[in-house]
Amino acid sequence: MGKIVVSKEKAKTPLREIAGDASKLDQCLTCGTCAGGCPVADWEGMDPRKLIRMIHYGLDEEVIKSNWIWQCTNCQRCTWACPMGINFGA
């Protein structure tokens, strides 16, 4: 597996800006539908809904340090299930 390199400029960018259409984060209903199909939901007590809330509240360091985000399979089930159309994998 190749080495992942993040530029210093990108590393300083808030996750809210990196998350693609950041305005969609504000539309999260916290309904949990995204977590229903997530194969890694509840691993380490996390799920896509909690991740969105953490990004929304600016908890960037906690998100980056979380092992959960690195376990995401990018299956996109959360995106397909979201009634607000939030693209979690963006």
Give residue-wise pLDDT tens across range 11-65.
455 655 655 555 577 788 889 999 998 999 888 888 888 888 888 788 888 888 8
Distances (CA, A) of 82 to 3, 22, 79: 32, 15, 5
Q: Which two tokens stand for residue 8?
A: 């210093």
* Nearest-angstrom CA–CA distance, 14 and 7: 13
Q: Which two tokens stand for residue 6?
A: 């993040």
Q: Indicate the pTM of the whole model.
A: 0.67
Domain ranges across the chain: 20-81
